Amino acid sequence: MNFHFGIRRTCFVGICLGLAFPYVASAADTASELAARLRSKQSGSMFVRIRMEIGSGEKQTLQIQIKSRVSDAAGDIVYQILFPKERKGESVLVHRSGHKFSGTLFTPPGNLKPIGSAEMKQSLFGSDLSYEDIIDSPFAWSQQGFWNRNRAKATPRLTPV
């Protein structure tokens, strides 16, 4: 596994657990039980606006609108740039059906570029996130485990085993 990909995935899982699902695991919960509870809350529709800072040194700041519709069997997520003005309207639609991914990149004034399964590891708007990172649900991984469960004041985080 690529070291940087593992870091990005761990950060993504941490963000999901910390921000999207304010649930504190009890001592009796297993990692699989916690993942199942979080997966059930993840199903349905979501609308979020975020600010994303990209790059080191001179950072580029993007304001992004995210819309998603996710179920156990499939998922659709749209990331659309709202700011800065020169990139406004750039969008990515990513679709997951089972373990197959596809997508479309839209660049105004009407350029559509399909994103195939082979291109899912490419960068989202120049960030460290890939298209696969945004559509994959870490709560659907077949094996779950806790990381640093015994540390004092540690936040339980799900990790692949």
pLDDT digits (tens, 9 = 90+) for 50-65: 898 888 778 889 999 9
SS3 per-residue string spanning 72-116 = CCEEEEEEEEEECHHHCCCEEEEEEECCEEEEEEEECCCEEEEEC
pTM tops 0.85, yes or no: no
Q: Quick check: helix, strand or coil at residue 129?
A: coil
Which fold, 3-160? Answer: outer membrane lipoprotein receptor (LolB), chain A (2.50.20)
How many other C-beta atoms lie within 10 A of the C-beta of residue 70? 19
Q: Where are the domains of the chain?
A: 3-160
Q: Indicate whether 19 pLDDT > 60.
A: no
Contacts of 64 (CB under 8 A, 6+ apart): 49, 50, 51, 52, 79, 80, 81, 82, 125
Q: Quick check: helix, strand or coil at residue 157?
A: strand
pLDDT digits (tens, 9 = 90+) for 123-136: 888 888 888 888 76
